[in-house]
Amino acid sequence: MTEQTCPSPQKVTLRHDWAREEAEALLALPFPELIFQAQLAHRQFFDPTKVQISTLLSIKSGGCPEDCSYCPQSAHHDKRMAAEKLMPLERVIADARRSKEAGAGRFCMGAAWRAPKDRDLDAVCRMVEEVKALGLETCLTIGMLTPSQSARLKEAGLDYYNHNLDTSEDFYGKIITTRTYQERLDTLANVRDAGIKVCCGGIIGMGEDTQDRAGLLTTLANLPTHPESVPINLLVRVEGTPLADEEAVDPITFARVIATARIMMPASHVRLAAGRENMSESTHALCFLAGANSIFWGEKLLTTPNPAQNRDTELLTMLGMSPMMQKTATA
């Protein structure tokens, strides 16, 4: 056993007292040892051959007042995406129905708002109700929420709410200035207090270092309850955004983050989110081996490309894997 190798764990337990140094040590493990520990954690809570499938629809794109450096929907960047109106209910339901027929178990809806106005929630709550009536799990990402807004969405039947931390608190100010880290944490608390499951992760490849990646994972793992879903995004370098020329992250480094997330939050779904369009089959396989067990199906994630469903189906078949069976959602 080398100096960097940690003793093999006997039984994985859920912890909320991680130190950043522990996350850094995991990220620095010899790769075979890291993958071994991630597999042990994964197999204790999940069937490693099953992958949870979600789809994501942008119900309102462009014109966002936030200045997130990675996002093409920001109104602050040189190449702005035109602001669109909220998608009609009929189109949302038609898309949700197609997603269910394609095998998705969860339908996620995203709107480019800093924070929804109360009047916006009337239409969004109706969307949640109608999607849930199809037997799908429901998920939203529509910006910051107040306690009362969170309660309204819970009453409408919302199952999950996505609100990513994006990166470590130390690096956060270099990526976003229009919303504080604490505001993100407050929204997560409001959602959780309302009884809605949390979907929260970050983005790799924005110029952050290993300490920042460890900081992000430590913050997530030390939340009072681990997020039920932890999306790990690989930066999509979009022309016209401040991060368009950022250096690409190699697959081994990315897989290390996946594996560390799996070890620190063993009972959570760790999702391969944005950036999959440019990943090879080998990189996908490596990430599944590292503990990823959730993906988005569909050709677009909000506004960025995503692998076509048939490509994902062929890949899962090649790997001897299959979609996770979803419990029927109830109102």
- How many CB atoms sit inside 10 A of residue 133's CB? 15
Confidence category of residue 331, pLDDT binned at 50, 70, 90: very low
Q: 120 phi and psi, to 5 degrees?
A: -65, -30
**Residue 120 confidence (pLDDT) above 50:** yes
**Structure-block tokens of residue 159:** 């199952």
Residue 10 pLDDT level (bands cut at 50, 70, 90): low
Cα–Cα distances in angstroms (integers) from residue 127 to residues 63, 87, 138, 216, 315, in the given order? 21, 10, 9, 32, 32
Q: Is the pLDDT assigned to residue 204 strictly greater than 80? A: yes
Of residues 239 and 288, the one with the higher pLDDT is 288
CA nearest 111: which of 67, 49, 62?
A: 62
| Mean per-residue pLDDT of the chain | 87
* Backbone torsion region of residue 11, taken as left when φ is above 0, otherwise alpha when ψ lies between -120 and 50, otherwise beta: beta
Determine the pLDDT at residue 330: 44
* pLDDT greater than 90 at residue 301: no
Give the pLDDT score at 302: 44
Question: 71: annotated binding-site residue?
Answer: yes
Ligand-binding annotation for 200, yes or no, is no
Q: Which residue has the higher pLDDT, 80 or 262?
A: 262
Given a cut of 50, whether residue 238 has pLDDT beyond it is yes
Cα–Cα distances (Å) from 229 to 2, 146, 226, 262, in that order, read 33, 21, 8, 11
Measure the CA–CA gap between 213 and 225, rounded to whole angstroms.
20
What is d(CA 85, CA 83) in angstroms, rounded to the nearest whole number?
7
pLDDT over threshold 90, residue 308? no
pLDDT digits (tens, 9 = 90+) for 178-193: 889 999 999 999 999 9
Mean pLDDT of 145-152: 96
- For residue 290, pLDDT over 80 is answered with yes
DSSP annotation of 160 reads E
**What is the arithmetic mean of pLDDT over 192-206?**
96
Position 160 scores a pLDDT of: 97
Catalytic machinery residues: 64, 68, 71, 108, 139, 199, 271
Question: Structure pTM?
Answer: 0.88
283: helix, strand or coil? helix
Sign of CA dihedral 18, 24, 25, 30: positive
Asked if residue 68 belongs to a known ligand binding site, the reply is yes
Instruction: Give residue 3's pLDDT.
Output: 47
Q: Is the pLDDT of residue 311 over 90?
A: no
23-56: pLDDT as tens digits: 999 999 999 999 999 999 999 999 999 999 888 8
Beta carbons within 8 Å of 186's beta carbon, 6+ residues apart: 144
Is 271 labeled as ligand-binding? yes
Report how far residue 311's alpha carbon sits from residue 330's, in angstroms, rounded to the nearest whole number.
Answer: 31
Sign for the CA dihedral angle at 117, 105, 37, 192 comes to: positive
**What confidence tier does 154 reach under pLDDT thresholds 50, 70, 90?**
very high
**What is the rounded average pLDDT of the residues 259-283?**
93
